[in-house]
Amino acid sequence: MKTISENACFGGTQGVYSHASDVCNCEMTFGLFLPAEAKDGPVPVLWYLSGLTCTHENAMTKGGAQAWAAEHGIAVVFPDTSPRGDDVADDDDYDLGKGAGFYVNATQDPWAPHFQMWDYIAEELPKLITRNFEIDEERQGITGHSMGGHGALTLAMNLPERFLSVSAFAPIANPSASDWGRKQLTAYLGEDTAKWAKHDASLLMADKGFDGPILIDQGASDQFLDLLKPEALAAAMAAKRQQGTFRMQPGYDHSYFFVSTFMEDHIAFHADALYAG
């Protein structure tokens, strides 16, 4: 693992690191905020998964998470959204290829050799971080925005023992029924839609739900509402009697102005779960 930068931040440290990823078969970069409490021992951790076109840097610099994470003594991980490198497959469209990993393990060419983002987020990166930093692997929460909200919800419901809490900002909520999903899931996983189900938050909610609290914020003026399909997730949560809160926020769009506005609420929400008991 290489240290790219480390900066003092709200009494803690905002670092950026890179490492050779075995599962993605390339060099990967991630950001990690460690609060001051990490100097004295392991701290809870919140995973933040970013959306389409983003790198590790977008949420790290625009989301405003560090101030609230420092207040609660929580670390925040900012992974990249896809593999990178000259030999990594890409596409001319912004919503496929680099910056658009969709948090799945690709099985189709030309994506399969590198696009193993599910295993990267679920297995490889957590092991690297707990091995090298003061992170309490028993106290983890996960959140994300847009494509990252999709990833956060699907990881949380598929790994029920891993995360104590999950939240999302404007998640891609029903990708198997959306152009932000059908295109990418076909490209990465093939045309067998049965293989898509574990990567659709609305279908997972109807089938499994989540054994813990959920918080969803959605901007009512989001320019991508028809692609996100929040109504499918809200209906599935209600039908499942899921412990959770779904909030439509009047006037807010899909931008980081929206995300940063409600970041304090999301950090506090996760802190309640991570410090419960």
Two tokens, residue 67: 């101030």
Nearest C-alpha neighbor of 256 from the set 48, 63, 51: 63
Selected catalytic residue, list 146, 165, 167, 202: 146
The reply to whether CATH 3.40.50.1820 applies to domain 2-275 is: yes
Where are the domains positioned within the chain? 2-275
In the predicted structure, residue 58 carries a pLDDT above the cut 70: yes
- 153 Ramachandran zone, left/alpha/beta (phi>0; psi -120 to 50): alpha
Phi and psi, residue 96, nearest 5°: -150, 140
Selected catalytic residue, list 72, 200, 222, 270: 222
Nearest C-alpha neighbor of 178 from the set 205, 142, 203: 203
- Catalytic, 50? Answer no
- Catalytic, 72? Answer no
Write down the pTM of the prediction: 0.97
Give per-residue pLDDT as tens, 127-179. Answer: 999 999 999 999 999 999 999 999 999 999 999 899 999 999 999 999 999 99
What is the pLDDT, as a whole number, of residue 30? Answer: 98
In the predicted structure, residue 277 carries a pLDDT above the cut 60: no
Peptide bond into 110 cis (omega under 30): yes
Q: Mean pLDDT score of the chain, rounded to an integer? A: 97
Give per-residue pLDDT as tens, 183-201. Answer: 999 999 999 999 999 999 9
- Catalytic, 146? Answer yes
Selected catalytic residue, list 56, 254, 266, 270: 254
Give per-residue pLDDT as tens, 65-110. Answer: 999 999 999 999 999 999 999 999 999 999 999 999 999 999 999 9
